[in-house]
Amino acid sequence: MDIDFETPLKEALKKTKDRLAVFEPITLDQVKEVLNLTIKKDNENKLVTFLAMLTAYTDNAQFNLSFNAPSSSGKSFIPLEVSSLFPDEDMLKLGNCTPAAFFHENGVYDKEKNERRIDLSRKIIIFLDMPHTDLLARLRSLLSHDEKEMRVKITDRGDKGGHRTKTAVIVGFPTVIFCSANAKMDEQEMTRFILLSPETDVEKVLAGINQSVRKESDKKKYYRELNANPQRKALKERIIAIRDEHIDEIIIEDPESIRQRFLAKVPNPQPRNQRDVKRVLSIIKSITLLNLWTRKREGNTLYASEWDIDIGFEIWDKISLCQELQVSPYIYQFYEQVILPLWNRPQVDEFTNEPVPEEKKIGVNRQDMLHKFYEVHKRNLSMYKLRDEYLPALQSAGLIFQEQDPNNKKWLLTYPISAKRDSEKTDEQPETHSEPDRGANF
């Protein structure tokens, strides 16, 4: 009996050709066009979010995001809209979550081993609000990709009262996205995320209003048209196909070029840059994964192209500043749009009517900041948020320092860290003072 070897081979080749024909190379501009259907503006934010979710379908190239922004600015909107492109079974969306809820409600319990095994490999977790601080602390090792299996001790109420200890075993690395309105993040958590903030300019808000009116006026029509869009359908099919390829490893063949390009933008390397370069590599790998059918491949291993590397660095260059400063983009925007313009405005000596030299300039007071903020954004900022969130974050980032107003000791004035000081302070570090009376408004 003759065995037909040719027919299966021909069928396999035909499937490969069909797949290559269906999933032609795609650019990030094409991905952006699909994302534009539901997310207006916010180009870098939505692309980075999409790429982060895509890395869930690798063995260890995942990276984590933190959307940090004021209430009602749409910080959870972007991840939720991007997640609608991904299979529901790969998503885990949580509100405010305690450690007990997270470890007890997920996974499968093995009574013999007294272990709850939670498989998070190739999953995407979105925390719609900042979870309990204890949960964040327990997930640090997971977020850092320290071990493929992480054991966590948890307590449970026993049958006869009291408490008993169990072990939760977390397997694999998910992509994790946090959404929070709180600017006060622990440094240990901050270094484990790429920090993002939605745009809040007038043009973005108007675009969002138009989108909401269109959507809420006739939801059935809106979703019917959205789901019928051929580019969106093709991207969703592509994502499922990427997942089903079960890619484990993505290799960059010239690591020295990565090192040189990264260090060229980092004149004074800091410890956190060790994590930043990993994020650059993960972004590059996610772009490789997007076009896996046209990349060099050996089994479940892909090889990044020069194009993938170039695009990866382009994306990183657009978001890297706030990562290096460890400050949320909306806080840095406040520094650029409010503090610097106020500091750079001319100051005139009230007695001589002459311009005040920079080393004699008086810092910016808080009332002026609030007025400038309203002028820029056409909305109010509370003194509480300015005093307890914005200014401490900028001071921690090394962008500003604060000193008492020489004319009123109850007031603190703000100076850019690069500001020249008067002659008696040129040779010493600028003074910083703790907050005076908490009741002081300026």
What is the full per-residue pLDDT of the chain (442 aa) written as tens digits?
A: 455 545 554 554 455 545 544 688 999 999 999 999 999 889 999 999 999 999 999 998 999 999 988 877 778 899 999 999 999 999 998 877 777 677 766 778 777 777 888 888 999 999 887 666 677 777 877 888 877 888 877 776 655 555 667 788 888 889 999 888 776 666 666 778 899 999 888 788 888 888 889 889 989 999 999 999 999 999 999 999 999 999 999 999 999 999 999 999 888 888 888 889 999 999 999 999 999 999 999 999 999 999 999 999 999 999 999 998 989 999 999 999 999 999 999 888 777 777 888 778 889 999 999 999 999 988 899 999 999 999 999 999 999 999 998 888 888 999 999 775 443 444 444 444 333 333 333 3
Whether residue 5 lies inside any domain: the answer is no
Whether residue 224 lies inside any domain: the answer is no
Residue 384's domain comprises 329-425
Beta-bridge mates of residue 170: 118, 150
Domain ends where: 294, 325, 356?
Answer: 325
Q: Tell me, yes or no, whether 304 and 359 share the same domain.
A: no
Q: Tell me, yes or no, whether 251 and 151 share the same domain.
A: yes
Q: Tell me, yes or no, whether 342 and 382 share the same domain.
A: yes
Q: Tell me, yes or no, whether 319 and 335 share the same domain.
A: no
Q: Tell me, yes or no, whether 273 and 368 share the same domain.
A: no
The model's pTM is 0.85
Whether residue 203 lies inside any domain: the answer is no
Tokens of 282: 């993960």
Q: Tell me, yes or no, whether 162 and 289 share the same domain.
A: yes
Whether residue 219 lies inside any domain: the answer is no
Q: Tell me, yes or no, whether 281 and 145 share the same domain.
A: yes
CA 295, CA 288: separation in Å to the nearest integer? 7
Domain ends where: 287, 306, 325?
Answer: 325
CA 65, CA 328: separation in Å to the nearest integer? 11
Q: Nearest 5°: phi and psi at 399?
A: -95, -25
CA 327, CA 193: separation in Å to the nearest integer? 11
Q: Tell me, yes or no, whether 131 and 275 share the same domain.
A: yes
Q: Tell me, yes or no, whether 377 and 421 share the same domain.
A: yes
- Which CATH number goes with the domain that contains 415? 3.30.420
For residue 157, count other CB atoms closer than 10 A to its CB. 9
Q: How many domains does the chain have?
A: 2
